[in-house]
Amino acid sequence: MAQKMSQFAWRTCVICVLVVFFLSSAVSAKSHVSDKKSIASYDAAQIEEELQHCPLVQALNEHKLASLPETASWTSKIFAVLFPGSPAVNALLATLYISGPPNFLLALCPPNIDPSSLSIMVAFAVGGLLGDTLFHLLPEIFLGEDSPEHARFVLVENNKNLLLGLGIMVGFLTFVAMDKTLRIATGGEGGHDHTHSHDSHDTAVTTGSSPGKGDKNGEVKKRKGKGVKHKDGDEKKEEINPSTKLGGYLNLIADFTHNITDGLALSSSFYASPTIGATTTVAVFFHEIPHEVGDFALLIQSGFSKNKAMGAQFVTAIGAFLGTFIGIAVQEFGGNTFTSSASSEVSRGLLGTGLSWGDMLLPFTAGTFLYVGTVAVIPELLETGKDKGVEIKKTLSQFAAIAAGAGIMLWISWS
């Protein structure tokens, strides 16, 4: 009897252990599934926040804080004075900086300025634009901005990178389309450039001459054209080729559109980070000076007086403010996916990538900068004359200017 009771007790214990084991396994599996579901709902910001609790990451943060310089650099102090407000306010201030001074400088330009004399300044602007794109915009687009207080981590997402690359291509092709449209409208004489071809200048000065009748005849007529003093404005206007006048007006439209993209660039860069915004402002500013002078010279060649050409350039500057306001609206109302507390379906953003429409403005900006800094400007720097000695010196000067422009962009952000 005692032996039977003992066997029964053992069997009961075994059954209880098995029941407890299966129940604990079921609870563990359920908990594991719920953990997987909660992890899947995390966005990049939440994952980084959780990583900050890791002991190793906390040690990295302490080391980073200990390595910070005691005083801010003088460039940071200058940028803090120039851009003291919110991203929207700073973007508007930057638009004012890049629109006002370059246009006021036109008052110092003589009406007969030769745009080709700006090649060194154009080369400097190329270095600034490419430096800002390669050193600041592209790293910011794919990796994000560094934080001075804690370590940052990059969560690689293939589809997200593809969309960002698509945004860069859209920006690039947008300027291709604009440039091509202007060239078609002007019969191949337009396009986004800074020096503007000498052919348009010769056409504006030489009346009724055909470029195919010989160089000597053309030179004589150009010298005569420069020496003639017109008795009234009507005779001067008659000397302007109609296609050249059309090119001047179409160039104003292209300049207005180009300024809109400048405004988009400034707004998107300041919403990315203050440093990116400041460096983009510097790059656009140095680009605008030769650009505005070149457009000013083209308007003079198209029959505009100096005052009317300056006024037209100020009107096109409105496009920059328009682009800035559009960029601010997209950033503010485009749905920032990183701060959204909505459901996981909403927080995934564009095509489930975690990107918002506002996040696509910076890649678009990078694409436009790549076009302006390469396709639109580099061909002008490649133009050479017959005097090899002069061209070698000119080439060395241009490369030095490009290096200076890119070096400034690198130096501003180097820590």
DSSP string, 134-174: IIIIHHHHHH----SSS-------HHHHHHHHHHHHHHHHH
**Alpha-carbon span 302 to 239, nearest angstrom:** 10
**Alpha-carbon span 123 to 402, nearest angstrom:** 5
CA-based nearest residue to 44, from 354, 384, 262: 354
- Identify the pLDDT of residue 402: 93
Residue 120 has pLDDT above 60, yes or no: yes
- Identify the pLDDT of residue 22: 55
- Identify the pLDDT of residue 415: 66
Please check whether residue 68 is in contact with residue 148, taking contact to mean a CB–CB distance below 8 angstroms: yes
Stretch 347-353: mean pLDDT: 71
Stretch 225-250: mean pLDDT: 56
Residue 233, in any domain of the structure: no
**Alpha-carbon span 53 to 190, nearest angstrom:** 58
Residue 2, in any domain of the structure: no
Global pTM reads: 0.70
Which of 173 and 252 is assigned the larger pLDDT?
Answer: 173
Residue 373, in any domain of the structure: yes
Q: How crowded is residue 279: how many other Cβ atoms within 10 Å of its Cβ? A: 26
136's CB contacts (< 8 A; 6+ apart) are: 275, 276, 279, 280, 409, 413
**Alpha-carbon span 324 to 263, nearest angstrom:** 4
335's CB contacts (< 8 A; 6+ apart) are: 346, 349, 356, 357, 358
- Identify the pLDDT of residue 346: 41
What six digits make up the tokens of 176? 């291709």
Stretch 276-294: mean pLDDT: 89
Return mean pLDDT, the chain: 76
Stretch 236-260: mean pLDDT: 74
**Alpha-carbon span 274 to 145, nearest angstrom:** 10
Domain residues for the domain of 319 are 99-207+238-413
- Residue-wise pLDDT tens digits, 77-96: 888 899 999 999 999 999 99
- Identify the pLDDT of residue 4: 59
Residue 15, in any domain of the structure: no
Confidence label for 230 from pLDDT (cuts 50, 70 and 90): very low
Confidence label for 130 from pLDDT (cuts 50, 70 and 90): very high
**Alpha-carbon span 142 to 165, nearest angstrom:** 9
Residue 128, in any domain of the structure: yes
- Total of domains in the chain: 1
Residue 37 has pLDDT above 60, yes or no: no
- Identify the pLDDT of residue 241: 66
- Identify the pLDDT of residue 105: 84
Confidence label for 326 from pLDDT (cuts 50, 70 and 90): very high
- Where is mean pLDDT largest: 97-106, 220-229, 234-243? 97-106
Residue 367, in any domain of the structure: yes
- Residue-wise pLDDT tens digits, 155-209: 788 888 999 999 999 999 999 998 888 888 877 665 555 555 444 444 333 333 3
Stretch 257-263: mean pLDDT: 90
Q: How crowded is residue 346: how many other Cβ atoms within 10 Å of its Cβ? A: 11
Where on the phi/psi map is residue 305: left (φ > 0), alpha (ψ -120 to 50), or beta?
beta
What six digits make up the tokens of 145? 């901005």
Residue 197, in any domain of the structure: yes
CA-based nearest residue to 144, from 49, 53, 45: 45
**Alpha-carbon span 240 to 132, nearest angstrom:** 40
Stretch 6-32: mean pLDDT: 54
What does R_g of the chain's alpha carbons equal in angstroms? Answer: 31
Is residue 253 helix, strand or coil?
helix
Which of 2 and 159 is assigned the larger pLDDT?
Answer: 159
- Identify the pLDDT of residue 222: 41
**Alpha-carbon span 66 to 183, nearest angstrom:** 57
Residue 55 has pLDDT above 60, yes or no: yes
CA-based nearest residue to 382, from 117, 123, 114: 123
Residue 77, in any domain of the structure: no
